[in-house]
Amino acid sequence: MSKTFGAASTTDEVLEGIELTGKRILVTGVSAGLGVETARALVAHGAEVVGAARDLKKAETATASVRKAGKGSFSLIALDLASLASVRRAADALVAKGEKFDVIIANAGVMACPLGQTADGFETQFGTNHLGHFVFVNRIAKLLRPGGRLVNLSSAGHRYCDVNLEDPNFEHTEYEPFHAYGRSKTANILFAVEFDRRHRDAGIRATAVHPGGIATELGRYAYTKPGELEKRAAEINEDLKAAGLPANFKLKSVPQGSATSVWAAVVASAAAVGGRYCEDCHIAEVVTDNDAPVLSGGVRPYAVDPENAKALWAKSEEMVGEKF
């Protein structure tokens, strides 16, 4: 009988009894937080993990514990998702080496930052969180073994809004940091939906996950004062209560926040999670109530709509000037 996991489950609990020797896994964003813990847990169970980070010096320091985690191995590559030149260099170097992967975990990202642009002129959050990964993953997709998986880290923040394919760079829309974040996180889910459709006949599946609310560097723009995140958690529970829902939102530890990533990557059935959105180590339900609080759980219909996913893919190719 399979074990049941939930919001409080940690990476070590999810991976208990799982042997990953011989598995090769790529994790982006390994210079802090969830990326470091995800890599640590996988290495501890025998996986050969390649970590990608923009700042290699910072990542070297942050991942010192990963190298001591167990019988697996760990190495680093440079990857700046806010620069397509860097993305293409990193992808081309991996393809040239030709070493296969069993899983890609697209973990890196930014949240609720001030209005800005990537090196290629894209709005920072959409450009980094979605377009950077879109190009990187598609360029190395040929390295995924049959039976492989792509895990995109999304967020309940996708429920702020759908993607805007008419104005992805906020050239005609008033910029709001969390709406921009919501667009990028919806894009992460839609990318997984379409990638899954394109690759499942080859035995490769893709899914998107929400890690939960965690105090990591991701929130450095949104929560700048001590106790601000905890105050926000209390407000979320008041919103849930007002909506007649259980006021059970709790901040997660980093090991709890990383659990859904590793669960979707190497524990859950590929057929079950393929093309889906997961949270708290289970597949989320589609929620059609537009008035439901953002952090009440579930996934919006627009984020898993196949036609929306196809449209985003086409727009993304147009924006980056590359067909996949």
Tell me the per-residue pLDDT of 98-111, one tens digit each, with 9 for 90 and over. Answer: 999 999 999 999 99
CA distance 160 to 150: 24
pLDDT band at 112 (very low <50, low <70, confident <90, very high): confident
**Residue boundaries of the structural domains of the chain:** 11-226+254-319
> What's the whole-number average pLDDT of the chain?
92
Please give the Cα distance from 301 to 26 (Å, whole number).
29
Asked if 202 and 247 touch (Cβ cutoff 8 Å), the reply is: no
Tell me, what's the pLDDT at 213?
83
Confidence bin at 76 (pLDDT 50/70/90): very high
Tokens of 130: 């979605």
What is the pLDDT at residue 219?
A: 44
Average of pLDDT values for 123-127?
98
Q: What pLDDT sits at residue 1?
A: 37
Q: Which residues pair with 74 in a beta bridge?
A: 49
Question: What pLDDT score does 227 carry?
Answer: 67
Residue 249 has pLDDT above 90, yes or no: no
Greater pLDDT, 219 or 209: 209
One-letter identity of residue 318: E
Instruction: Give the closest residue to 153 by CA, choosing from 100, 117, 191.
Output: 191
pLDDT of residue 291: 77
264 half-sphere exposure, CB direction, 13 A CA radius: 36
Model pLDDT, residue 299: 97
3-state DSSP call for residue 87? helix
Q: Which residues are catalytic?
A: 154, 181, 185
Query: Would you tell me how many other CB atoms lie within 10 Å of the CB of residue 12?
Result: 16
- What's the rounded Cα separation, in Å, for the pair 215 and 252? 8
User: What is the per-residue pLDDT for 120?
Assistant: 98
Q: End-to-end distance of the chain based on CA atoms, in angstroms?
A: 40
- Model pTM greater than 0.75? yes
pLDDT tens digits, residue range 152-193? 999 999 999 999 999 999 999 999 999 999 999 999 999 999
The CATH architecture of the domain made up of 11-226+254-319 is 3-Layer(aba) Sandwich (3.40)
Of 130 and 111, the structure prediction assigns the larger pLDDT to: 130
User: Per-residue pLDDT for 238 more than 80?
Assistant: no
> 278 and 211 in contact (C-beta within 8 Å)?
no
* pLDDT the model gives residue 244: 75
